[in-house]
Amino acid sequence: MTDRHQEIQNSYKQLGNMASLYDGIITRSTVIGKIMDNVIWGLDERLAARWVNEALVPISEDFKGSLLEVPVGTGVLTMPLYKSLPEARITCLDYSADMMKAAEKRAEVLGINNVKFVQGDVGCLPFDDSSFDIVLSLNGFHAFPDKKAAFSETYRVLKPGGIFCGCFYIKDEFRRTDWFVKHMYVPKGFFTAPFESQESLRRRLEGMYSQVSVHAVNAEGIFCCIK
């Protein structure tokens, strides 16, 4: 494991221990979470709901295929969705056992039994080529240390015709977020440069996939494309 990988794992280990703080921010369910969401990301209730919904739109309500989510984190955004997809075969992967522990607990409480949890590195996925109908990645690519490997591995494990979708931080859309990323998230080890802009992400995905769509909700870049 490289020093950079180790550093990220340590950062998210601490966060995993504070999973409820993380969940509070991502779902705006705590006072501190709401303040951080407003101040850092410039999001209000409506915009916050918008980016989550739009990132998950490509997953149809009656989806019955195989889906890989990487990174699952605490599963706060997706376990409720998986509860509504009982016939899908879902695999969730994350680097941090501590973050994933919260996701496993959440699945257990919700009585979900079609989700498998795997600890691993997105840069070296332990799956065969063309294994999944959908690869979903929420808020991961701004954290991954080796983005080239992450793009290539998520592509490799997706079936031809499969959907790659999700969201992550993109630069140059919302200056306040750019400032916090540079001065807080990068030094703390939560985010790792280099970051995509909306344009660079579109170009990258168009070089690999078809039917590419990319748009932004403040600094959240939301994407969907077909292999």
Ligand X SMILES: C[S@@+](CC[C@H](N)C(=O)[O-])C[C@H]1O[C@@H](n2cnc3c(N)ncnc32)[C@H](O)[C@@H]1O
Q: Does 26 bind ligand X (CB under 6 A)?
A: yes
Cβ atoms of residues 117 and 90 within 8 Å: no
Q: Does 221 bind ligand X (CB under 6 A)?
A: no
Alpha carbon distances (Å) from 106 to 12, 92, 100, 110 = 18, 13, 10, 6
- Please select the residue that binds ligand X; options are 94, 173, 196, 220, rule is CB under 6 A: 94
Q: Does 121 bind ligand X (CB under 6 A)?
A: yes
**Total of residues contacting ligand X (CB under 6 A):** 20
Residue type at 19? A
DSSP string, 110-149: HT--SEEEEE--GGG-SS-TT-EEEEEEES-TTT-S-HHH
Q: Name the residue with the smallest CB distance to ligand X.
A: 73
- Please select the residue that binds ligand X; options are 63, 82, 95, 132, rule is CB under 6 A: 95
Q: Does 154 bind ligand X (CB under 6 A)?
A: no
Q: Does 223 bind ligand X (CB under 6 A)?
A: no
- Please select the residue that binds ligand X; options are 71, 162, 189, 221, rule is CB under 6 A: 71
**Whole-angstrom distance, CA of residue 87 vs CA of residue 57:** 18
Q: Does 135 bind ligand X (CB under 6 A)?
A: no
The CA-based angle 100-92-225, given to 5 degrees, is 130
The residues binding ligand X (CB under 6 A) are 8, 12, 26, 71-73, 76-77, 94-96, 99, 121-123, 138-140, 143-144
